Amino acid sequence: MGAGRGNLKRRPVNRVADGTDSFELDPKARLYLCLAAVAEGTVISYGALAAQAGVPRGARWAGRELRQLPQGSALPWHRVLRSDGFLGLAGSAGDRQRKALLAEGHRLTATTRGWRLVPPIAWSPYA
């Protein structure tokens, strides 16, 4: 259930004067579109991603939605981190995220709290 063209749900917002409907994407579809726009070499926080999708203060919501992505998703889910720069995933998902970030050229450091990007962090311009 990726953000493919056929999977984007649309709902009518209002009817314009000529009788046609204007459409708006639902928040989950906007989240996937915003995630797809995160450029290689940058990362974004869960909260900033949710704000871009139109859900202010929705960091936990964004995390829950990203958790539901299928295993082989083409979306760059690994570029989403906690706001303090730590990887938000644990276990095998955290290992996959760490390896994907290292493959993109990010530098990570191990701390007692987990893996963290080495500052300065190239945050999204929307953070």
Hey, what CATH topology would domain 19-117 get? Arc Repressor Mutant, subunit A (1.10.10)
Per-domain residue ranges of the chain: 19-117
pTM of the complete model: 0.75
Q: What confidence tens digit (pLDDT) does each residue in 33-81 have?
A: 999 999 888 899 999 999 999 999 999 999 999 999 988 889 999 999 9
Residues 6 or more apart from 100 whose CB is under 8 A from it? 78
Q: What confidence tens digit (pLDDT) does each residue in 72-127 have?
A: 889 999 999 999 899 988 888 899 999 999 999 999 999 888 899 887 666 655 54
How is residue 123 annotated by DSSP? Answer: B
